[in-house]
Amino acid sequence: MSKSTAYFNRKTPVSSAVLAFFGSSHHPVSVNHILDYLNKKNLFPNKTTVYRIIDKLLAANYITELTLRTGGAYYERIHTQPHHHFFCVDCKSVFCMEATPAEPLIETMKTANSSFQIHSHDLNLYGRCSHCPSNKSTQ
């Protein structure tokens, strides 16, 4: 059984392309990023089709959803190492950051709030990336 048929009942050019896109992407992507990629491949599905494919990949635990305070949803392959994200407020790109040790903070929170059970955490940073023109003028 090929990798793409493990996630989809029916292998289509669109589902194969979306799976390839996630396989080669090194940072979280939005549905609009996926649609842009597909259009460059001369594939023009509607958004509903892309969301159905995303739902299947989420259910199969191949990707995870990252929801930012901006209200946008981004998707990335599931990583074995916990990591944090940087969101550029100008270009709307999301970058994975090197894993930072949050364990001391979590242990401090557990000690200070022993009645809480912490199951997971997330940390997102917001600012301007080095690629954006508005950031280059301030350097």
66 and 123 both lie in a single domain? no
Q: In sequence order, which residues have a C-beta less than 8 Å from that of residue 18 and are 6 or more positions away? A: 34, 38, 50, 53, 54, 57
Residue ending a domain, among 58, 77, 96, is 77
| Residue 126 belongs to domain with CATH number | 3.30.1490.190
Q: Considering only CA atoms, which of 38, 82, 56, 104 is closest in space to residue 30?
A: 38
As a whole-number percent, the residues of the chain with pLDDT over 70 amount to 88
Position 83 scores a pLDDT of 80
Q: How many domains does the chain have?
A: 2
What is the domain range of residue 96? 84-136
* pLDDT score of 135: 61
Q: Are residues 32 and 66 in the same domain?
A: yes
120 or 59, higher pLDDT: 59
The listed range with the strongest mean pLDDT (19-23, 115-119, 121-125) is 19-23
CATH of residue 23? 1.10.10.10
Q: Which pLDDT score is estimated for 96?
A: 85
Closest by CA to 66, choosing from 54, 53, 52, 56, is: 54
Which residue matches tokens 């970058």? 95
- Looking at the structure, tell me whether residues 108 and 69 fall in a common domain: no
Tens digits of per-residue pLDDT, 5-42? 566 777 899 999 999 999 999 889 999 999 999 999 99
Same domain (yes/no): 67, 124: no
Q: Which of 77, 92, 117 is the last residue of a domain?
A: 77
The verdict on 42 and 26 lying in the same domain is yes
pTM (predicted TM-score): 0.75
Residue 134 has pLDDT above 80, yes or no: no
The pLDDT of residue 6: 65
Per-residue pLDDT at 22: 95
Q: What is the mean pLDDT of the chain?
A: 84
Domain boundary residue, one of 51, 77, 103: 77
pLDDT in tens, 64-84: 998 888 888 999 998 777 788
Are 30 and 68 in a shared domain?
A: yes
Does 118 lie in the same domain as 67? no
Same domain for 42 and 106? no
End-to-end, the C-alpha distance of the chain in Å comes to: 51
Q: 88 and 124: one domain?
A: yes
Instruction: Tell me the chain's radius of gyration from C-alpha atoms.
Output: 18
pLDDT at 4 (0 to 100): 46
